């Protein structure tokens, strides 16, 4: 509830009360009166450029743009009459004749706002001559193409890029009829500072910015020939909501619901928007079995399961259960994690179970325990409120791109100071300090900061070997001046001999900076994978550090998406070809080379399940986007098949699932 005064006005003869400061468009919408818009977008600031939303106010001859004009007491608004209709039609025709809007050849036909408006206003032919200026087409970007000939200069992409993404890559350049959308200072999108989030393409009302990956997939004249499936992206743990455009059980496009909630405002990053489309092109469905000559060859599921069960049994027999490692990705849903654990515990109780990010969590836990008590992390929203962001050993631009967006917005909107220290960084001209230190050096740096900040400790000279003293002092003075500092930590900090050392220092520093309301430390720890929280809290990740590489002679690798093994800490397991018994994945057929048996299974797009949200740990139900291919075995079926072969009838996946109730199940 706000205490703003209410303004009474009439729209098309009907009275309405709206808050002071509301626009005419908002008043009309309250009455459910439709006013066409083009440059207006609910997630973006008002622009007033396209002029389609013109309405008549108090009978004046000059029309006003309803999307930007605030209401006035007693205003009499007319939203439709012949003159207004003709003007709007002229605007639509102006746009259609200004550049190339031959819908037939446009990737967006059928999902184009300009096209819709033209139909709505009965533009079945043009009364104006074409202007015929030619503009470049930019295909330098991996995912996006920009056809300036289809641009209507609504400026939505420009606003989205600066207001939501904070990247400000796009702007309008040139004047008059030669105006176009410019990228950085010049050049193509592919060579630009673009963060490839794709939001510009999503807000583009026409086919000016479109996805290269699925061009023309859904073009069918006036019809939009696809379903939209609401789901979530499980890749990085922000669990962003997604709108998945599906045609014939193929994923055509991924968008985000706009306007979205703070702090992310409905963005989606490169990983959530483009990568699912990248991978869904190559989908192995046939299992692979290593033959007697040592090479992998296709096999039927039964044959492969036989082989896998045989290999596992042989391994257990020859080396003992302790030599078996079950490694599961934390991108998997709670159900998958649970089932996998249950399977392993039932058949190989002595085997080691771990997640790809287990090492990270063990380091973190060790650090937390070292301090004697647990702590509460800050929510993502704290990023947008911070006036100083100290990034330590994190690479959000790569691992959590939307966190990068929040940092940029903090810098541009709040004039926050941004310091990036340690491996992984988000460099930019606006980075106050960008120090490329190794993990151990970073830990030292943090300790130095802590000791200088803590008055109880002796404040002497810089102690650390090779510490850049100037930077320490500079960071310290900035930290002292900051009113709402925030520390952002990533997994790189754990990449050292004492994985917990960095985290210990960080937690200490965060405590020195003081807790926020609700006991939150000013600290955000970027978890490596989409369901890291789930894997940890369900106890799938091993609490104890598993034995060294030499201890394991084989086992199972269980993946959900496109996880990369080496960077996820597979140093703990064998990496030679054929050294793993079973690899099961939807996407990583290439990983089959590590295994004796490769078992394709449904990936996260085709699986529904529960995930734990990063901020509040609440469970979230992620519906599946695609129907799994009938040739593809679901994860339960594979495990059941193995179970049957290992010990018939004693274990089934369904029975063993004990998934917690999701706290906030997403609407189906």
Partner 1 sequence: MSKLRLEDLYRIKGQVLRTNLMEPEKKTIRVTVHMGTCGISSGADKVLALLQEELKRSGREDVALTTSGCAGICNQEPLVTVERLNTEAVKYAQVTPDKAREIFQRHVLGGSPIAEWAFARGWEQPEKLFDGGPDPEMGAVPGIASLDFFGRQELRVMRNRGITRADSIDEYIATDGYFAAAKALFQMSSQDIIGEVKSSGIRGRGGAGFPTGLKWQFAAASKSEVKFVLCNADEGDPGAFMDRCVLESDPHAVLEGMIIAAKAIGAGQGYIYCRAEYPLAVKTLNQAIDQAREYGLLGSDILGSGFEFDLEVYRGAGAFVCGEETALMTSIEGKRGMPRPRPPFPAVQGLWKKPTVLNNVETLASIPQIILKGAKWFASIGTATSKGTKVFALTGDVRNVGLVEVPMGIPLGDIIFDIGGGMATGKKFKAVQLGGPSGGCVPVAHLNTPVEYESIVKLGAIVGSGGMIVMDEDKCMVDVARFFMEFCVEESCGKCTPCRVGTQQMLNILTRICRGQGREGDLESLERWAVFIQNSALCGLGQTAPNPVLSTLRYFREEYEAHIRDKRCPAVVCGDLFESPCQHACPAGMDIPAYVALVRADQLEEAYRVLLKTNPFPSVCGRVCDYVCESKCRRATLDEPVNIRYLKRFITDNAPRPAPAPKAPARRERIAVVGAGPSGLTAARELVLRGYQVTVFEELPEPGGMLRYGIPAYRLPREVVAGEIKAITDLGVELKLNTRVGREIGWEDVENDFQAIYLAPGAHRSLPLGIDGENLEGVVGAVELLRQLNLDQNPPVGRQVAVIGGGNSAVDAARSALRLGAEKVTLLYRRTREEMPAQVEEIRAAEEEGVELELLAAPIRFAGAGNRVEGVVCQRMSLGPFDSSGRRRPLPIPGAEFWVPADQVISAISQGPEAFIDQAKGNGEIGFDAKGLILVKEGSRTRVGQTLVFAGGDAVTGPGKVIWAIADGRAAAEEIDAAIRAKNGEPAFEPPAEEEIDIPATIDEAVTEGPRAQMPELEAGERRGSFAEVELGFTREVALAEACRCLRCDLKEVAEEGAEAA
Question: Site residues (CB under 8 A) for partner 1?
Answer: 46-52, 54, 61-63, 65, 68-70, 87, 90-91, 94-95, 97-98, 128-129, 131, 152-153, 155, 171-172, 174-179
CB of 39 to partner 1, least distance (A): 9
**Please, which residue, 67 or 164, has the CB nearer to partner 1?**
67
Q: b/e per residue, 395-415, with b = 16+ CB within 10 A?
A: bbbebbbbbbbbbbbbbeebe
Determine phi and psi for 624, rounding to 5 degrees: -80, 150
| Closest approach of partner 1 to the CB of residue 570, in Å | 49
Closest CA to 57 of 93, 9, 20, 114: 9
Identify which of 284, 345, 282, 279 has the alpha carbon closest to the alpha carbon of residue 599.
284
Q: Under 8 Å CB-to-CB from 183, ≥6 apart: which residues? A: 138, 146, 169, 170, 189, 192, 194
Q: How far is the CB of 168 from partner 1 (least distance, A)?
A: 10
Cβ nearer to partner 1, comparing 177 with 221:
177
- Measured from the CB atom, the residue of 38 and 106 that comes closer to partner 1 is 38
Report, in Å, the least distance between residue 5 CB and partner 1.
16
177 or 370: CB nearest partner 1: 177
Residue 30 vs 51, nearer CB to partner 1: 51
**CA separation for the pair 440, 254 (Å, rounded):** 40
User: What are the backbone angles phi and psi of residue 643, rounded to the nearest 5°?
Assistant: -60, -45
Angstrom distance (rounded) from CA 662 to CA 250: 28
Q: Shortest gap between Cβ of 67 and partner 1 (angstroms)?
A: 9
Which residue in this structure is represented by tokens 């998934």? 659
Classify each residue of 199-219 as buried b or exposed e, where b means 16 or more C-beta atoms within 10 Å of its C-beta. bbbbbbbbbbbbbebbeebbb
- Across-strand partners of 555? 325
Contact 290, 308 (CB under 8 A): no
The answer to whether the Cα torsion of 659, 662, 666, 668 is positive or negative is positive
Residue 89 CB, shortest distance to partner 1, in Å, is 10
Report the distance separating Cα 334 and Cα 61, nearest Å. Answer: 63
Q: Which is nearer to partner 1, 94 or 537 (CB)?
A: 94
Give me the least distance between CB of 137 and partner 1, in Å please.
19
* Residue number with CB closer to partner 1 (5 or 300): 5
Q: Considering the complex, state which of residue 171 and residue 250 has its C-beta at the smaller distance from partner 1.
A: 171
| The dihedral formed by the CA atoms of 162, 114, 150 and 139, expressed in degrees to the nearest 10 | 60
Minimal distance in Å, beta carbon 279 to partner 1?
Answer: 39
User: Shortest distance, CB of residue 155 to partner 1, whole angstroms?
Assistant: 7
Q: How far is CA 331 from CA 154, 536, 609, in A?
A: 38, 12, 11
Spatial CB neighbours of 392, under 8 Å, sequence gap ≥ 6: 421, 422, 442, 446, 487, 488, 489, 490, 493, 502, 506
Pair of tokens at residue 567: 């960077």
Output 409 or 527, the one with its CB closest to partner 1: 409
45/567 with CB nearer partner 1: 45
Q: How far apart are the first and last CA of the chain?
A: 30
Pick 46 or 199: Cβ nearer partner 1: 46
Q: How far is the CB of 111 from partner 1 (least distance, A)?
A: 21
Coil/strand/helix, residue 517: helix
Bridge partner list, 182 = 171
Choice between 55 and 239, CB closer to partner 1: 55
Task: Give just the sign of the alpha carbon dihedral 393, 399, 400, 404.
Answer: positive
Residue number with CB closer to partner 1 (152 or 289): 152
Q: How far is the CB of 368 from partner 1 (least distance, A)?
A: 45
Q: How far apart are CB 286 and partner 1 at their closest, in Å?
A: 55
In angstroms, the CA 146 to CA 209 distance is 5
Instruction: Quote the tokens at residue 464.
Output: 């650390």
* Smallest separation, CB 62 to partner 1 (Å): 5
């Amino acid at each position: 509830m706000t205490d703003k005064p209410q303004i009474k006005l009439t729209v098309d003869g009907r009275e309405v009360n709206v808050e002071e400061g509301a626009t005419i468009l908002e008043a009309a919408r309250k009455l459910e009166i439709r006013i066409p818009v083009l440059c207006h977008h609910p997630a973006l600031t008002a622009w007033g450029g396209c002029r389609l939303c013109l309405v008549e106010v108090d009978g004046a001859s000059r029309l006003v743009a309803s999307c930007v004009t605030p209401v006035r007491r007693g205003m009499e608004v007319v939203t439709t009459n012949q003159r207004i209709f003709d003007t709007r039609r002229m605007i639509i025709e102006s746009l259609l004749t200004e550049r190339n809007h031959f819908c037939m050849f446009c990737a967006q036909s059928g999902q184009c706002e300009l096209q819709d408006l033209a139909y709505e206003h009965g533009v079945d032919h043009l009364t104006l001559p074409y202007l015929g200026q030619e503009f470049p087409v930019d295909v330098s970007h991996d995912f996006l193409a920009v056809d300036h000939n289809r641009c209507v200069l609504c400026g939505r992409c420009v606003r989205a890029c600066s207001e939501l993404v904070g990247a400000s890559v796009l702007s309008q350049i040139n004047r008059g009829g030669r105006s176009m959308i410019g990228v950085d200072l010049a050049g193509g999108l592919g060579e630009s500072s673009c963060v490839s989030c794709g939001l510009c393409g999503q807000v583009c009302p026409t086919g000016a910015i479109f996805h290269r990956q699925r061009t023309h997939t859904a073009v069918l004249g006036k019809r939009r020939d696809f379903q939209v499936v609401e789901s979530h992206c499980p890749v990085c743990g922000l669990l962003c909501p997604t709108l998945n455009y599906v045609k014939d059980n193929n994923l055509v496009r991924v968008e985000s619901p706009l306007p979205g909630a703070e702090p992310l405002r409905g963005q989606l990053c490169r990983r959530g928007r483009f990568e699912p489309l990248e991978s869904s092109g190559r989908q192995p469905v046939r299992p692979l079995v290593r033959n007697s000559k040592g090479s992998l060859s296709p096999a039927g599921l039964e044959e492969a399961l036989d082989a896998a069960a045989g290999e596992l049994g042989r391994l257990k027999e020859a080396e003992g259960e302790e030599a078996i490692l079950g490694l599961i990705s934390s991108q998997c849903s709670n159900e998958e994690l649970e089932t996998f654990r249950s399977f392993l515990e039932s058949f190989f109780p002595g085997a080691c179970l771990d997640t790809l990010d287990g090492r990270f969590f063990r380091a973190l836990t060790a650090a937390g325990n070292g301090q004697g008590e647990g702590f509460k992390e800050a929510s993502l929203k704290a990023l947008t409120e911070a006036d100083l962001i100290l990034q330590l050993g994190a690479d959000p631009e790569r691992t959590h791109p939307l966190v990068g967006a929040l940092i940029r917005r903090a810098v541009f909107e709040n004039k926050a100071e941004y310091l990036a220290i340690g491996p992984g960084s988000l460099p930019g001209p606006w980075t106050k300090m960008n120090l490329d230190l190794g993990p151990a050096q970073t830990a030292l740096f943090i300790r130095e900061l802590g000791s200088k900040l803590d008055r109880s400790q002796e404040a002497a000279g810089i102690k650390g070997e090779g510490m850049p003293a100037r930077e320490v002092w500079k960071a310290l003075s900035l930290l002292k001046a900051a009113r709402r500092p925030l520390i952002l930590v990533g997994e790189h900090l754990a990449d050292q001999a004492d994985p917990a050392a960095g985290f210990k220092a960080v937690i200490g520093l965060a405590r020195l900076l003081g807790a926020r309301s609700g006991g939150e430390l000013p600290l955000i720890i970027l978890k490596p994978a989409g369901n890291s929280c789930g894997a940890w809290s369900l106890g799938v990740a091993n609490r104890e550090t598993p034995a060294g590489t030499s201890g394991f002679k084989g086992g199972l690798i269980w993946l959900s998406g496109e996880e990369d093994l080496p960077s996820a800490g597979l140093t703990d397991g064998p990496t030679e070809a054929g050294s793993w018994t079973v690899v099961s994945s939807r996407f990583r057929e290439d990983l089959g080379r590590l295994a004796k048996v490769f078992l394709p299974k449904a990936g996260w797009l085709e699986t529904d399940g529960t995930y734990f949200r990063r901020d509040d740990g609440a469970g979230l139900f992620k519906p599946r986007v695609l129907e799994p291919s009938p040739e593809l075995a679901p994860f339960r079926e594979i495990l059941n098949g193995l179970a049957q072969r290992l010990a018939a009838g004693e274990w089934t996946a369904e029975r063993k699932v004990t998934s917690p109730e999701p706290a906030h199940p997403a609407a189906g």
